[in-house]
Structure 1
């Protein structure tokens, strides 16, 4: 067994690309420069902690997240429908993996303390330590314990029912948690099918569960308003408070409740940061020559697994011109999308009246921003030699480094001067007789605002959705744009939609709005949080210093007690600072009556801040690029945050079509030889030109499964062939075939220049004329592990039992090993 594992490890090592030793040698320097940038930025946040608190910990209108809950739930159901044909293949013991095999293959470490009932071992966990190891994740799935079709369908319909109740908004927080748990239980059974859209669903669902999305457009809020109306305590449009609530008075001693209570803003802000992370990560990952040449859209549209209708004629006309402009434009847009967050923060500071700071605080701010800027420049200049190959007639590496350094520095100066000029002395221009003022707010609204960047994204995703069938990725990405709107904007859009539908007449006539949107809860109501408690800057600074000391201790290899001491010092600083801030808050005056209130009291704000900082830090460290120039620190950084990401199901990677899109169309034939020696082609690759319906409307996961088996999931190949052994037996009265063979089929996509010069091609003709075939796996079903039906499955389908010796299973005995490694556990 050990020798076979060693051999497998050797094969995997040979298949991996050789490391760039020069880049790895630079990685420690890159790591220190990145640390300087991170520490400087965190210090900036501490220096301006009042702005951080006001942005993240405020209470806001709930209607955006209420609508988000409804649309997100509908998208979940649509995404599930796209897997309908593969559900039993993916998630049951009649599919790719038997239940015990799934535990061993997909969750071996997690289930190391779980007995399979072999040779007298108990079935189940061996003790508390085994349960704790299971809870470390990530396969939190009921289907890892039982996955027969009956149990699976009960599980599935329970999930669907909970999602429907979540959409309706009854017990929204509880139903959201249950739906998230059931979705995780479903998806963690088998990851072979997962696409970028499935990861989007995972990471946004966690953030949605953290929110109070049931405070608007929900049965919860409707029932609450009905109870308050009966008690005479609801503020309604046209009455006292106009629906926004009313403070206690002689007429209303207990006051009136608002229709839409305010909710914490930070979950929505985390959604916006997650959206920016998706685009920025995938844009930065597209470093290949095909993207630089502008040919990525051409190749993506000509992948037979994706296009809805043959694009070859369009490609011959626009592949060398319009498609290239679109490719470059999308690439720049993806990398630049985080500018939306810059515009958001800048406009918030202007709206809230935050100035540039005074005295030492202003100078410290400038110094820290310079550290961030020059630290990032240092990373770029240091890593550039291993990412750049000088071309004939082009600049040398050293020349390019100087050009980048000088241009970067001049850009920082221009940005600082321009920012200051627009903030303090706006430009006044006269255009067509009208004076136009160009100030910082207008620039942030237009150049760094949502209307530009989201509009480009909307056109991009609609175009992709019309031309390519990539499942729910485009619809879910368009839907999550909703998180970039505040509640008032959402209410105004819905009001406009109602007015438009009312104009159609008939059954829609009653939808005409009778007045302006109902306002959110009045921020001046006395029951809202307005305390002055703040975490002292010295406590935050001490915690940052302890964190830096912890990093230094780990790098220098200092053992106990130093790492633990740094952790406890940081925690002690925060706890003591929290108590000091709470005591001061009881004495000082809180927020002004007209200011946006806090989402929570002091303790709630502290806990929410911990969640926000932890999640942002975990995602940022997890998304460190998988490059040799990050070799010295990437693995350690990811291992540090892995427990949080596993527990929240927010581990992520956004390398779609990166670093280059595929330039070949790859398919998979499944050839079955039956007992009579006849060979059958199962035609399983539904996205192949020989099988594909045109136009292709409904998404099918067969293409993703094919790409996974042919590509980075090569280890699936024998399991996939074994599944077809069993599937054939289920469909043929229990009779096994002799062999199952997987044949990789592919052809190269002609270059844009070729189709521009010679005209468009027909995929089926090119596949037949220039296609290649290669056998990638072949199994003899009677002798292959898990290649036969177990007697349990045979009995389930009414087939006669066979001798257990004819069933090839691997039944590991774990208890002895577990007890040896965990004495007393």
Structure 2
């Protein structure tokens, strides 16, 4: 409900923002308490071993789709990724990684060299997050070489060759391409950026790969492979047998891998669908007309859909819209069903005593606080419609009573729904524990049936297959749907995948007579590895996993929670006051405020507390390996020390690194408790209940488990934050963004899923480019679909811009919409660079420079579903009747920077070169050299050093000097001259 979109700042919402922030903190704290009560389940869910085949299948299909996604840009390679395209290399540096290249010389002027000015400049680039090699060199030769390497590496990744390191190279090269220019980006890029990272975290090469084939081949030769049909070796699942008094290990065909990366894929897919579903809250979606408008966008449909729309636009299309909207918004129930079934399948004991009440307090508090947030803030976001508010069309309220009616409806609905959910879950759970013969009617109806059907994969994933299949067949939106469908493999287990592939193989053999392996013909896929097997060392000997019977003391996670609360409170208390922002604003106008007003205490960054939690966990885990326990009385000392250290940081300038070090020392001192035999035995018995399965081992040792838990919690929090609606929560939104920004940008996990949200477009938008040649003749470049709608359009023009059926996807239409301003950012800053590119391209193709280039936005409205019902419209007729055009931008090529080809490009094509003066005028001087030297001077002053601006250490480049250096130099020269006289 809070995702409803506003168009102008809501000052009432801004006023409520601080209160919402504190209630949100309370809700998150309660949710954390719930998971702490269920920490045994948490450990089992994230830290267990898993079958590698789902992630292997995702690697193959997702990698192939990612490769096709890049190759699908082939016609735009020059335009997007080469220096002769829309952005020359130095311009791409400025727009895509400005902060990283502040200390990098462009080599544009004769006096300036190309490269980093000094070590500090290299460090700034190293900070990231855009490390694309194409930002250093994007000449055609370099790009084609880069692309060839990328193709080879991606094929190796898909085939699973040297996967352990090749996946990182593939990811780096892939990001190097798409991060060079984001003009063509759509939701497709978000899919491949976000989910590629999870493949990096997984051991996706342990199945269906060249690596595993070579491994099995080697083990078979050594007689150490567990093979199907040989029970003495474990039938492919692995075994350890006694041979001559020694243990012999038969390794499984598919070695188990950590489960947590696959679970991250599952959670992020659910977050994707839920976010896009809740953001689609506009009247077009509510009315059920979204499918109609989406299918009538001329940039998307493969075949004209106007006839279908006239028949089904107000019936079947509306049903599709409502089903799709509900399916997306409620997709997380699938994850809930998977967790509930897993919980019961693993026979995890129910909570009792204090842990049960802690879980109830946590979950109840979480619901109650979010309930309070809605009641507190919803009134300032609600805008009653002209018709007021009605409840299912049965009870109607006029506009003046609409808000009160909504408040009462929501106020009663949420508590009633929460109670019904709890009672329903208890009844279904109790019914499942009851023998079937005692259940009475519908004996099969229980919690498991609800989780398998109403909330299960066979419904929600099949709906996803239908939805995405519909998009693939009816609309041309590129590789978005195939890439997202590749992530569906994470929802299946390895045996299910192998069974499906065996059936497919049998069908291929039966129809095409293609030979298949024996196990496929028998319908007996290879089994998963026996997770009870001990870990195996490099010599093929079993080894005991260190810390197998070790668990963190209860006080540690509560200490971590307390530190996180302290982190939030201290960040709020040390937040800069209004004078900091006023100072930045006035400085742009050349007005400097008083130093007293501008003084700010040091901000306490929450990330330091995150480091504390990680270090505490590692120290305690390491101490437990040595048989030492943690004294719980040290926990409050740690929290108070962290709080006090943050005060010293804020007011005295003490580095938070010192506080982290002190906390580490206190933790070491607190981890010196010698455990007795009785304590160790009691812990071992407790841990035996927490193990991921009977006799199974963990995916990592104690230190690895601490790191993985910290990474998963931090990443889940970061991604969850990105999916929360902003709703003018300015009092805390920026602070949260600063905490997670570096992690999300470095891992390329920033994401937004507002596709067709809050409403789909209801107008078709095109881009027209007009070129006035040197002789004054005007040419229309026919760059978009509108050209085929013109009365004098030829078939050749239509085949170029409006092919029917439209098979091969092109991003040119997306680029046109973005430049025309119908996408985010209004497209204004793209327009001048696109026009300049047209100037240069015209000069290259025609041999002379045109006078000017003009860009126009061309649009026409899509007929409403009611108007189109039973009366299909012709797009060309609608365009010619109701189309409009307005001028966006105009450039005179000869007067523009990069308005013509510089000599570097001319030499490549054998064109006559310009004079050196004309060539230099084409380049954009961004004054990087003098800005970098000024930055060095400012940093020295900030460190409290006595600064002499004429000191040679500040003269690191030859491309200009700061204004104060010029003044000081002239004054020094004047004084020297006066002294001579």
TM superposition score category, shorter chain reference: over 0.9
Aligned to 1:9: none
Aligned to 2:229: 238
Higher-Rg member (1/2): 2
Report the 3-state secondary structure (helix = DSSP H, G, I; strand = E; otherwise coil) of the residue aligned with 1:254: strand
Aligned to 1:770: 882
After TM superposition, the structure 1 = structure 2 runs for residues 567-582 of structure 1, keeping only pairs within 5 Å, are 570-571=613-614, 573-582=616-625
Measure, in 2, the Cα distance between the counterparts of 1:466 and 1:356.
Answer: 47
Tell me, yes or no, if structure 1 residue 779 matches structure 2 residue 785: no
CA contact (8 A) 1:193 1:701 kept: yes
Report the 3-state secondary structure (helix = DSSP H, G, I; strand = E; otherwise coil) of the residue aligned with 1:396: helix
- The correspondence for 1:793, drawn from 905, 919, 942, is 905
After TM superposition, the structure 1 = structure 2 runs for residues 459-608 of structure 1, keeping only pairs within 5 Å, are 459-508=466-515, 512-514=520-522, 516-527=524-535, 529=545, 531-557=548-574, 566=609, 570-571=613-614, 573-583=616-626, 588-589=683-684, 591=688, 594-608=694-708
The one-character-per-residue Cα deviations of 1:745-795 (angstroms, maximum 9, x if unpaired) are: 1001111111116x1111112112211011101100000111110101011
**What's the offset of the Cα at 1:149?**
0.6
Distance 1:37 1:687, change over 3 A: farther
Measure, in 2, the Cα distance between the counterparts of 1:146 and 1:22.
Answer: 50
CA contact (8 A) 2:614 2:710 kept: no
Aligned to 1:724: 838
Measure, in 2, the Cα distance between the counterparts of 1:682 and 1:430.
Answer: 76
Measure, in 1, the Cα distance between the counterparts of 2:604 and 2:138.
Answer: 47
After TM superposition, the structure 1 = structure 2 runs for residues 254-269 of structure 1, keeping only pairs within 5 Å, are 254-269=248-263
- The correspondence for 1:714, drawn from 812, 828, 831, is 828
Report the 3-state secondary structure (helix = DSSP H, G, I; strand = E; otherwise coil) of the residue aligned with 1:213: coil
- The correspondence for 2:854, drawn from 741, 762, 766, is 741
The one-character-per-residue Cα deviations of 1:290-319 (angstroms, maximum 9, x if unpaired) are: 111111111111000001111111111111
CA contact (8 A) 2:550 2:624 kept: yes
Tell me, yes or no, if structure 1 residue 618 matches structure 2 residue 718: yes
Aligned to 1:39: 29
**What's the offset of the Cα at 1:186?**
0.5
**What's the offset of the Cα at 1:573?**
3.8
**What's the offset of the Cα at 1:687?**
8.0
Measure, in 1, the Cα distance between the counterparts of 2:535 and 2:924.
Answer: 64
After TM superposition, the structure 1 = structure 2 runs for residues 246-285 of structure 1, keeping only pairs within 5 Å, are 246-250=239-243, 253-285=247-279
The one-character-per-residue Cα deviations of 1:510-560 (angstroms, maximum 9, x if unpaired) are: 675235111121122233748122222211111111111111111122756
The one-character-per-residue Cα deviations of 1:22-78 (angstroms, maximum 9, x if unpaired) are: 121122222222212211112222222111110111111111111211111211222
Aligned to 1:141: 132
Deviates more, 1:440-449 or 1:521-530: 521-530
After TM superposition, the structure 1 = structure 2 runs for residues 21-420 of structure 1, keeping only pairs within 5 Å, are 21-117=11-107, 118=109, 120-239=111-230, 240-250=233-243, 253-391=247-385, 392=388, 393-394=396-397, 395-420=401-426
Measure, in 2, the Cα distance between the counterparts of 1:515 and 1:280.
Answer: 37
Report the 3-state secondary structure (helix = DSSP H, G, I; strand = E; otherwise coil) of the residue aligned with 2:869: helix
Report the 3-state secondary structure (helix = DSSP H, G, I; strand = E; otherwise coil) of the residue aligned with 1:670: strand
Gaps of 5+ in 2: 1-5, 389-395, 537-544, 576-600, 629-679, 790-800, 941-952, 955-981
CA contact (8 A) 2:839 2:853 kept: yes
Gaps of 5+ in 1: 1-15
Aligned to 2:917: 805
Distance 1:141 1:567, change over 3 A: closer
Distance 1:185 1:289, change over 3 A: same
Distance 1:689 1:614, change over 3 A: farther
TM-score using structure 2 length: 0.79
**What's the offset of the Cα at 1:583?**
4.7
Deviates more, 1:469-478 or 1:396-405: 396-405
**What's the offset of the Cα at 1:563?**
5.6
**What's the offset of the Cα at 1:667?**
0.3
Q: CA-atom RMSD, angstroms?
A: 2.3
Distance 1:250 1:102, change over 3 A: same
The one-character-per-residue Cα deviations of 1:712-742 (angstroms, maximum 9, x if unpaired) are: 3221011110010011111123x11111111
**What's the offset of the Cα at 1:434?**
8.3
CA contact (8 A) 1:686 1:700 kept: no
**What's the offset of the Cα at 1:641?**
0.6
| Divergent runs of 4+, >6 A | 427-434
CA contact (8 A) 2:860 2:884 kept: yes
Report the 3-state secondary structure (helix = DSSP H, G, I; strand = E; otherwise coil) of the residue aligned with 2:87: coil
Measure, in 2, the Cα distance between the counterparts of 1:164 and 1:688.
Answer: 39
CA contact (8 A) 2:274 2:328 kept: yes
**What's the offset of the Cα at 1:503?**
1.4
Aligned to 1:3: none
CA contact (8 A) 1:113 1:125 kept: yes
Aligned to 2:873: 761
Say which structure, 1 or 2, has more relative contact order (CA 8 Å, 6+ apart).
1
Deviates more, 1:20-29 or 1:421-430: 421-430
